[in-house]
Amino acid sequence: MHSTSYVIKFTLVMTIIVAFVLALMVSGLKDIHGENESVYNKKGILSAVSVQLGKDVNAMSNEEVQTIFSKQIEQKVINTKGEELTPEQIKEETDGRSSTAEQLDMAKEGKKADADKLLPVFVFTASDNKKYNIVYTRGKGLWDEIWGYIALESDLNTVAGQAFDHKGETPGLGAEIKDNKAWYGQFTGKKFYNTSGEFTSISVVKGGVKDKTNQVDAISGATITGIGVDEMLERGIKYYEPYFQKLKSKESIN
């Protein structure tokens, strides 16, 4: 048996050594961690326009992602009334945590009341000078959260590209929303509004698509994830409606 004072000394020395080594490691790796995280998020956004980029986003190097993102993407943060916020306003709304759209903590925004929600918009300019609005939506899958970036054509109706992601869906089932190109590829070309301009959203249906303009086939074996995608599109895209209207009226004035 060791004496109590020895135990205390041992504990103190051990705690100091452990905390010191870890603190050293964390501060040493901080930049790499930050860079990794930002590249990971940017890859998620750029995946929505991978067809327009003509490249596999996941195979890009970190520098490539950073340059494309800074050159071809314009970031905006809007509220649910469709008004664009200045960086100062964003800082104020998020308690100084973020000043750009990519830094928004979307899990937190999702919990806010509708009127206080901030929404990110990424305007992507393709090499042929066409502009695409990338919007964001978040919902619940079977296990945990799922989210998606939807790139819209200039008519703000037709889907030009999409990328879904998830926190913990089952590989081969729910995770197919991210992995299976054939599944998420179905969204391209679908429309959120019908011919008379009403919001119909794009629904995920089981047992065969009936309406080719706004329905996609569900993944077999992943019913709940499919329902989650359906729900988050219907709710999430609606938040952007005022913004779309403002954009459209601006265009008609010009």
Residues at the contact surface with other proteins, assessed by CB under 8 A: 1-2, 6-7, 10-11, 14-15, 18-19, 21-23, 25-26, 29, 32-33, 36-37, 39-40, 107, 142-144, 167-168, 170-173, 176, 180, 182-183, 186, 217, 219-221, 223-224
Tell me how far, at minimum, the Cβ of 10 lies from other proteins, in Å: 6
How many CA atoms are closer than 13 Å to the CA of 216, on its beta-carbon side?
Answer: 25
* DSSP-assigned letter for residue 85: P
39 forms beta bridges with none
Buried b (16+ CB within 10 A) or exposed e, 161-172: bbbbbbeebeee
Judged by beta carbon, residue 160 or residue 175, the one nearer other proteins is 175
Judged by beta carbon, residue 234 or residue 241, the one nearer other proteins is 234
Tell me how far, at minimum, the Cβ of 153 lies from other proteins, in Å: 23
Tell me how far, at minimum, the Cβ of 227 lies from other proteins, in Å: 10
Neighbours of 112 (CB within 10 A): 12
**Rama region for 82: left / alpha / beta (φ>0; ψ in -120 to 50; rest):** left
Separation CA 249–CA 254 (nearest Å): 9
Q: What angle do CA 195, 115, 252 make, to 5 degrees?
A: 40
Tell me how far, at minimum, the Cβ of 238 lies from other proteins, in Å: 20
Q: Are 77 and 90 in contact (CB under 8 A)?
A: yes
Judged by beta carbon, residue 162 or residue 186, the one nearer other proteins is 186
Judged by beta carbon, residue 214 or residue 223, the one nearer other proteins is 223
Tell me how far, at minimum, the Cβ of 246 lies from other proteins, in Å: 32
Judged by beta carbon, residue 133 or residue 225, the one nearer other proteins is 225
